[in-house]
């Protein structure tokens, strides 16, 4: 279970307990508000997960690009130091 799933579940648990107490004290059912808050927490978690995935993908692209540059420089250095290129 990911961090965001754990946060979503904990938020739902806390909201459920709070909603039950308010309903008990006031006689008002807060089920719809609770569901909206739970949905919002879930959407927030999914959005944050999406940002995390995007950041990981971007980091991998930069790593791949950097490795390509290192490989190119290494190849060029080998060409410069190879004696057969000067004979």
Q: Which residues contact 45 (CB under 8 A, 6 or more apart)?
A: 4, 5, 7, 8
Residue 10: alpha-carbon gap to chain centroid: 18
DSSP code of residue 29: -
Q: Which tokens sit at 62?
A: 């930069």
Q: Which residues contact 61 (CB under 8 A, 6 or more apart)?
A: none
Q: Whole-model pTM?
A: 0.49
Answer for the pair 49, 2: CB distance below 8 angstroms, yes or no: yes
pLDDT digits 0-9 by tens, 41-65: 888 888 998 999 999 999 999 999 9
pLDDT digits 0-9 by tens, 23-36: 777 777 667 777 88
């Amino acid at each position: 279970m990911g961090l965001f799933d754990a946060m979503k579940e904990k938020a739902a648990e806390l909201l459920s307990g709070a909603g039950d107490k308010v309903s008990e004290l006031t006689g008002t059912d807060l089920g719809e508000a609770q569901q909206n808050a739970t949905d919002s927490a879930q959407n927030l978690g999914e959005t944050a997960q999406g940002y995390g995935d995007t950041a990981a993908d971007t980091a991998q692209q930069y790593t791949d690009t950097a490795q390509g540059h290192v490989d190119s420089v290494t190849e060029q250095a080998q060409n410069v130091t190879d004696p057969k290129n000067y004979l």
